[in-house]
């Protein structure tokens, strides 16, 4: 198999056809860019993360050691990972980890890859969670544990519960909690509030919110992630509506519901919370200036549906 080196007008880069001394780190980075530029929105970042992982180096070493020559077996390891990314597999699944908040989380095909925009849900949940011992937060549909563990890392005295209906996802989240030293987080298997009885100061969730019909139009990466965590079916708002409705019976008076949603769903989710009786409803923008998280305060006892 040959590989095009970016910017070298058609010259093929084939590790099996070159001598070991001809493989500089700089040339390998160029080759990676050539492979991924049509298959990724961030080809340089992906290339650097994969090469650093394959070589066992910090990412900065790709610059400080760019003139180093690599042995053929090291080059083969690098191209094996680049080919996986070229096929559409997310970088985090290839490397088995993803940085999120201040944590490094394990990632498997059983969970969504934690994304930067979800850190906004963590920020808003922390802003609404009382900074007092025993404050209670539940993360519904925790997946890798990203939101729950990020909150717990900032509020060690809070009671944090992470739920998911997938036992495989919960296994990943539990392992991430152990790795992060966050033994105060509890885990429960079940569908939404089936696993979270009682009253909570904050309910936070990043539920599936992609309509079934939209899936084929989205990035190829999503084909490697669990479908059940991406879409609730034909109605993109089904899970958001279910959580917002049921949360009224599980929030303490004055408690907050914090929901991540799609970038085009802010208005609908905002209106939904208002129609259900939530107060102080507000939608926050992510770093791309897109409406991403909507929150609302529950004023009192459950009033019925």
Q: What is the pLDDT of residues 160-207, one digit of tens each?
A: 999 999 999 999 999 999 999 999 999 999 999 999 999 999 999 999
Predicted pLDDT at 216: 73
What distance in Å separates the CA atoms of residue 31 and residue 248, rounded to the nearest whole number? 54
Predicted pLDDT at 156: 96
Q: Which CATH class is domain 3-87?
A: mainly alpha
| Segment among 50-59, 208-217, 276-285 with least mean pLDDT | 208-217
Predicted pLDDT at 301: 61
Find, among 218, 244, 242, 241, the residue nearest to 230 by Cα.
218
What distance in Å separates the CA atoms of residue 191 and residue 58, rounded to the nearest whole number? 40
What share of the chain has pLDDT > 70, as a percent?
89
In the chain, ranges of CATH 3.40.50.150 domains:
97-297
Exposure b/e, 197-218, CB count within 10 A at least 16 = b: eeebbbbbbbbbbbbeeeeeee
What distance in Å separates the CA atoms of residue 114 and residue 42, rounded to the nearest whole number? 16
What distance in Å separates the CA atoms of residue 286 and residue 261, rounded to the nearest whole number? 11
Q: Are 256 and 296 in contact (CB under 8 A)?
A: yes
Predicted pLDDT at 281: 98
State the chain's mean pLDDT as an integer: 89
Find, among 236, 188, 191, the residue nearest to 210 by Cα.
236
Q: What is the mean pLDDT of residues 96-118?
A: 94
Q: Is 129 a residue whose pLDDT tops 50?
A: yes
Distance from the Cα of residue 124 to its chain's centroid: 16
In the chain, ranges of CATH 1.10.8 domains:
3-87
Find, among 143, 141, 146, 151, the residue nearest to 184 by Cα.
151
* Strand, helix or coil for residue 236: coil
Considering the segment(s) 97-297 as one domain, its CATH architecture is: 3-Layer(aba) Sandwich (3.40)
Distance from the Cα of residue 96 to its chain's centroid: 13
Predicted pLDDT at 211: 86
Predicted pLDDT at 254: 96
Q: Is 5 a residue whose pLDDT tops 60?
A: no
| Count of alpha carbons within 13 angstroms of residue 280, beta-carbon side | 11
pTM: predicted TM-score of the whole model, two decimal places: 0.85
Highest mean pLDDT among 87-91, 93-97, 256-260: 256-260
Q: Is 60 a residue whose pLDDT tops 60?
A: yes
């Amino acid at each position: 198999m040959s590989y095009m080196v970016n910017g070298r007008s058609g010259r093929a880069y084939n590790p099996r056809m070159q001598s070991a001394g001809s493989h500089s780190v700089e040339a390998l980075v160029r080759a990676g860019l050539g492979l991924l530029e049509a298959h990724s929105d961030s080809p340089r970042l992906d290339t650097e993360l994969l090469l650093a992982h394959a070589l066992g180096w910090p990412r900065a070493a790709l610059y400080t050691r760019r003139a180093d020559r690599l042995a053929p077996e090291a080059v083969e390891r690098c191209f094996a990972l680049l080919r996986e990314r070229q096929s559409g597999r997310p970088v985090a699944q290839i490397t088995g980890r993803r940085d999120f908040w201040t944590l490094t989380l394990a990632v498997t095909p059983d969970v969504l890859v934690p994304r930067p925009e979800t850190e906004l849900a963590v920020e808003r949940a922390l802003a609404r969670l009382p900074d007092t011992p025993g404050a209670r937060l539940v993360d519904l549909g925790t997946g890798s544990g990203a939101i729950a563990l990020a909150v717990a890392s900032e509020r060690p005295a809070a009671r944090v519960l992470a739920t998911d209906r997938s036992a495989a996802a919960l296994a990943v989240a539990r392992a991430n909690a152990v790795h992060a030293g966050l033994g105060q987080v509890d885990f429960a298997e079940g569908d939404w509030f089936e696993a979270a009885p009682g009253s909570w100061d904050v309910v936070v969730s990043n539920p599936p919110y992609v309509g079934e019909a939209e899936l084929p139009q989205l990035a190829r990466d999503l084909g490697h992630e669990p479908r059940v965590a991406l879409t609730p079916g034909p109605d993109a708002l089904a899970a958001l509506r279910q959580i917002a409705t049921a949360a009224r019976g599980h929030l303490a008076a004055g408690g907050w519901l914090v929901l991540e949603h799609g970038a085009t769903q802010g208005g609908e989710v905002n209106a939904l919370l208002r129609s259900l009786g939530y107060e102080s409803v507000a939608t926050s923008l992510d770093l791309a200036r897109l409406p991403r998280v909507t929150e609302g305060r529950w004023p009192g006892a459950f009033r019925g549906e």
